[in-house]
Amino acid sequence: MGLSIREIRDRTTRARHLMQRSRQQHFAVGAFNIDNQETLIAVARAAQKLNSPVLVEVSDGEVKAMGVDNIRDMVDNYRLQYGVEMYVNLDHSPTVDDCKRAIDAGFEFIHIDVSQANHDATLDEIIAATKEVVEYAKFTGALVESEPHYFGGSSNLHTEAIDYEEIKKTFSTPESAKSFVDTTGIDTFAAAIGNLHGKYPVPKILDLDLLARIRESIDCQISLHGGSGTELHYFEDAAKIGVSKININSDMRYSFRTTLEKVLADNPDEYAVVKLMPTVYEAVQAVIEEKINAFGSAGKAVL
């Protein structure tokens, strides 16, 4: 069931207030990827238990699997069932048209990332697409996020070491961040300071001094992608510096799969899969709760 424009604008206004609170109170909001209903339940239950605001996010693959309107409805249903402050974020959307569809469906947060589909996209192409989405989003008030280049890694379990000398070549700079924000008018800048998509065999190292300089150079919100596999103290410090949104995916997927494999092995004669899932989403919920506590968003929900 679709939302009215009044309902959508009310929710995007509340989302904007949340981002303002995050800056004022120095906490970050977790943006948690969902693959299915079970991971959505885990997010909602963690948010309820810790009274934390959360973003439920989906990337292109999840949108294709579940449908943009179905995702909107599912999140709304669980938001009401659990009585939580919960919004929807379109993550790394590769096209302007996909962003427009999500805006029309009432997504409060939109991440346009044409470099996701084309790693060699030029800065001019990225700016043009971002500006088009920013202009379109004004009708509903959705918050638009972007970055000026491809963000590395993938949401999988990696076995290779992190080549930080190579990764540093794609770090954000205060100067490029300011130029991009001023040119595009985005609400949220996705900073690259050592954060990478996916889980690696060694913890990620974030350049918090660089983050602080970027924070000083721009007025909009800052997000950190690739939060999985990161030592929790980095999140605590990043929130104090002024990061408003941190994305988590691979840690949840790893917990989901490894727990599901164990549950299936322990119950070889059970074919009613729904009976096996509570153990799985409880494990994922524990991951989410750990992140929420590190982000400092526990107790920050406004209902």
Q: Is 91 a catalytic residue?
A: yes
Kindly report each contact of residues 41-45 with a partner whose C-beta sits within 8 Å and lies 24 or more positions away, as own/partner.
41/78, 41/281, 42/252, 42/281, 42/282, 42/284, 42/285, 42/288, 43/86, 43/285, 43/288, 44/78, 44/79, 44/81, 44/82, 44/84, 44/86, 45/82, 45/281, 45/285
Q: Which of 197, 166, 171, 236 is nearest to 92 (CA)?
A: 197
- Residue 149 to residue 119: CA distance in whole angstroms: 8
Q: Which of 91, 98, 113, 187 does the annotation list as catalytic?
A: 91
- Residue 139 to residue 123: CA distance in whole angstroms: 26
The catalytic residues are 91
